[in-house]
Amino acid sequence: MTTGAHARFMQGNEAAVEGTLAAGLGFYAGYPITPTNEIAEALAQRLPQSGGVFIQMEDEIASLAAVIGASLGGVKAATATSGPGFSLMQENIGYAVTAEVPCVIINVQRAGPSTGQPTRPSQGDVMQARWGTHGDHPIIVLSPSSVLETYELAVRSFNLAERYRTPVILLMDEVVAHMREKVVLPEEVEVVERAQAEVPPEWYWPYEAGGDVPPLVPFGEGYRYHVTGLFHDRAGFPTGRLDEIQPWLDRLFRKIEGNVEEIVAVEGEWLEGAEVAVVAYGASARSARHGVRRAREAGRRVGLLKLITLWPFAERAVRELSARVSRIVVVEMNRGQMLREVERTACGQCEVVGVNRADGQMVDPRDILGALT
């Protein structure tokens, strides 16, 4: 899709709006909540101008339900919320995973638990994004650390959702959402459209066990099938037969776990020859980069690994890194949620320590410097 390149002074939430529109957003349903409100405010104006539909729902539960319904109708759909609303969405996230309905959920994290500090940053929803809905399930979660990256990952969220028929979570934080930076949006972006059925209606199975991702035909096009949150057969009807359940479950996980090389993205800086590495994501990666740069200016061999995809976890990148360095410092605005994943993946090959802050403030680069020794 062509967008036209020019420099703009843009807020993170505004970049999320521009990214969703560039990806082809056609439907948005949401409920007001700080610190995401700029997204809804902008889309309420912009989306109808491009032929889309914006609706304010009565709560976050209904918002995601409406998004799922719109997606089943063939429209690219999204919602945006923060921690308390994200908690309310968990049942419908599980429904979208099980029914394999592509959609995008933007969660601009704020300090919690409960209502916490609505205008303060946090990265406390990392594990909730992975395991918030009950049961075993695959999920894709992306985390931007700049305004431009927010735009890029908003587009990528839709592309991954459509490619793998799954909900994708764009896990932002209040700092990235409200900061402003000069950005130049690309003239063109890659946009993935939903796969089309290549068989007549009588041969169509929306949950076929073979392959990775069967096409999802929108309702109203003559292809009749059932949608449920229950374990289902290849036509979508509830089933208790293990010979139908297990192959479907295997494919549900295989479509994500079997494509991690395409899904998982990281960025490394100064890692060649590094003796100590810092792992960070989102706004914390900005503090981490500043701390690493200061350490290198002092002559220390330190590198940075920024996680862009949080889930699936970048196991290969972290495992390879842990074999080359003596220490990994994990920086995040929580009590150590991603720290445990790094420890698990490092398998004792190096020391793993955390620099954590969960009081609604950014991590201080000076604290990162102190953890590098």
Q: What is the pLDDT of residues 259-295, one digit of tens each?
A: 999 999 999 999 999 999 999 999 999 999 999 999 9
Residue 114 has pLDDT above 80, yes or no: yes
* 296 and 149 in a common domain: no
Round to the nearest angstrom and report the end-to-end CA distance of the chain. Answer: 48
Four-point Cα dihedral 235, 239, 245, 251, nearest 10: 30
- Select from 123, 158, 184 the last residue of a domain: 184
Could you tell me whether strands 140-142 and 309-311 are parallel, antiparallel, or unpaired per DSSP bridges? antiparallel
Contact 20, 50 (CB under 8 A): no
| Per-residue pLDDT band at 1 (split at 50, 70, 90) | low
Contact 263, 312 (CB under 8 A): yes
Residue 2 has pLDDT above 90, yes or no: no
* 65 and 163 in a common domain: yes
Do the domain assignments include residue 260?
no
pLDDT in tens, 8-43: 999 999 999 999 999 999 999 999 999 999 999 999
* 180 and 282 in a common domain: no
Element (H, E) at 157: helix 147-164
Do the domain assignments include residue 81?
yes
pLDDT attached to residue 331: 98
| Residue 43's CATH number | 3.40.50.970
* 35 and 174 in a common domain: yes
* 278 and 155 in a common domain: no
**Separation of alpha carbons 114 and 126, rounded Å:** 16
pLDDT attached to residue 6: 74
Do the domain assignments include residue 259?
no
Average pLDDT of the residues of the chain = 96
- Select from 184, 214, 242 the last residue of a domain: 184
Summarize the confidence of residues 78-90 as an average pLDDT. 98
Do the domain assignments include residue 13?
yes
**Separation of alpha carbons 311 and 143, rounded Å:** 10
Task: Classify 168 as helix, strand or coil.
Answer: strand
Do the domain assignments include residue 163?
yes
This prediction has a pTM of 0.96
pLDDT attached to residue 210: 85
**Separation of alpha carbons 142 and 153, rounded Å:** 7
* 176 and 52 in a common domain: yes
Residue 4 has pLDDT above 90, yes or no: no
- Select from 152, 184, 216 the last residue of a domain: 184
Four-point Cα dihedral 310, 314, 315, 318, nearest 10: -110
Q: Which residue in the block uniquely carries the two structure tokens 């981490």?
A: 288
Total number of domains in the chain: 2
Contact 302, 270 (CB under 8 A): yes
Give me the domain span that covers residue 363. Answer: 267-371
pLDDT attached to residue 74: 97
* 279 and 131 in a common domain: no
Do the domain assignments include residue 245?
no
Contact 65, 94 (CB under 8 A): no
Do the domain assignments include residue 234?
no
* 277 and 178 in a common domain: no
Do the domain assignments include residue 227?
no
* 279 and 136 in a common domain: no
Summarize the confidence of residues 73-81 as an average pLDDT. 98
